[in-house]
Amino acid sequence: MTNKFYTIAKYGAAALGIIGIILLVRVIMGGEAVETDAELQTSVVDPFVSFTIVMLIVTTVLAVGFSLLGLLKNGAALKKALLSVGLLAVFFIIAYSVSSDGEVTNKFGQVIEFGEKGSISKNAGALIIFSYFLGAIGLASVLWGSVKDMFAKN
């Protein structure tokens, strides 16, 4: 069964790759005319973009689906994953609670477009602070791993 699945997947991936190459060659053959001719864009670029979007959606669904399937089969991994997601949720709640909902201004003190006071400003601020938390956690993990490796016995 696994060998059949592998063979089908291999030929399917090859077929999708060939379709992508054909669409890319069509765009390249259009040259600079693709930039100015709307009809040529519709006939050449739109199928390439649509194919790319479909491939992105399919690969995302497959990656998430197989990851969830693997987690459901392994209880210990599921417990770790839920604990990690809960910890990330706590960090996001902290980031959201400390973020400002004030106006966003440029260097001249003028409110920028979509920078009005309110929830959009608060959400953007929360995501920025959350990314700081994630960066600090990543840096601390790398430093901890380096220090641990320095003192590890061979």
Instruction: Note whether 14 and 59 are same-domain residues.
Output: yes
What is the rounded average pLDDT of the residues 42-61? 89
Give tens-digit pLDDT for 101-146: 777 777 887 877 766 777 777 888 899 999 999 999 999 999 999 9
pLDDT given at position 32:
77
Model confidence, pTM: 0.58
Instruction: Note whether 146 and 81 are same-domain residues.
Output: yes
Q: Where are the alpha helices (DSSP H) in 31-118?
A: 33-36, 38-40, 46-73, 75-98
Instruction: Note whether 28 and 94 are same-domain residues.
Output: no
Give tens-digit pLDDT for 74-106: 889 999 999 999 999 999 999 999 988 777 777
Instruction: Note whether 69 and 8 are same-domain residues.
Output: yes
Neighbouring CB atoms inside 10 A of 95's CB total 19
Number of domains in the chain: 2
Using alpha carbons, list the distances in angstroms from residue 20 to 23, 66, 100. 5, 24, 45
Question: Tokens 């430093």 appear where?
Answer: 143
Question: Tokens 């901890």 appear where?
Answer: 144
Share of the chain above pLDDT 70, in %: 97
pLDDT given at position 89:
95
Check residue 117 and report its DSSP letter.
S
Query: What's the distance, Cα to Cα, between the start and end of the chain in Å?
Result: 43
Domain with 109 in it: 75-150
